[in-house]
Amino acid sequence: MRALQLAARGDPSEVVRLVDVPDVGPPRPGEVVIDVEASPVEPTDLAIIAGTYGYLPPLPHLLGAQGVGRVAAVGRDVDYVREGDRTLVPLLSNAWAERVRTDVPWLRPLPKGDVGQLSMLGIDPPTACLLLTEFVRPRAGEWVIQNAANSGVGRSVIALARSRGLRTVNVVRRPELLGELTALGGDVVLVDGPELAADIAAATDGAPIALALDGVGGASTQRLLDAIAPCGTVVVYAGMSGEPARVSNPSLVYAGQTLRGFWVVNWLREQTSVEKVASLYRECAAATTPYPIAGEFGLGEHAEALTVAAKFRGKAIFRPNG
């Protein structure tokens, strides 16, 4: 069986290699085998390769944070999917391979759809959904601010917020994205900068905003704190700027604001209800928005795929059995 393996932490062009590994074999009781159809290159994957992610298994190890595929075989006592169903490859299950074997009971058959888009359902949409529910629960008509609005999480926030009747302020770093995100359903789309808080107040008629979502870090974190109401919350879920969040103590002390962190892997690890996780993914599958795909690649084209992915202008998708 072919798979992509990480030999060391560092430059993806130097440390990722195509290898032949033993096949996963038949499923044991409670397990399923999935033929992987598509798996994207995510920021998660790039962080694992660089050694900066929150989960770093011992080297060498196989790669691929998420994906989608067809159920090839089911073990005894499996009744949640059947052979031939299309389903997710669970998070961090080495999806850059021809097959995976897993025992995650919240897997369910997926609806019909583009396989490349479905392959991106595992991380960003549930992160977006939980960001909107686990800390502050805005009511219909209320505003939510997010930076990194063009990311996979950001686009999912737009779709999920719209399905719940919420309004979004979407902050980007490139002016050419303004029209695109507006067309996707963003109520307000703004370019980040020193006057962001004033721009948001003007665009929302000074509405008190209780929740902001930070996927950028650096100086942008404080600008979100400046834009939310007293006692509001900023949830940090990524750091795409590569800089640590910079905040002013008075915002937290005198305004009573809260800075929280969130990682969907922790949430999934803590869940004891299979149906709660399955329900989360059902909602995500029903309220998704397309993400640009920069290209599709075989496993042997990994160097090119990783180069394309690092430009963050669209997803590079591996087709392990293509």
Q: What residues are labeled active site?
A: 53
The identity of residue 285, as a single letter, is A
Structure tokens at 210: 């209780």
User: How many other CB atoms sit within 10 Å of the CB of residue 134?
Assistant: 12
Q: In sequence order, what are the beta bridge partners of 100? A: 34
User: How many other CB atoms sit within 10 Å of the CB of residue 103?
Assistant: 14
Give Rg (Cα) of the chain: 20
Is there a contact between 251 and 225 (Cβ–Cβ < 8 Å)?
yes
Structure tokens at 181: 């995100």
Is there a contact between 37 and 69 (Cβ–Cβ < 8 Å)?
yes
Is there a contact between 100 and 24 (Cβ–Cβ < 8 Å)?
yes
Q: Any idea which residue has 């997010």 for tokens?
A: 146
Structure tokens at 94: 């080495």
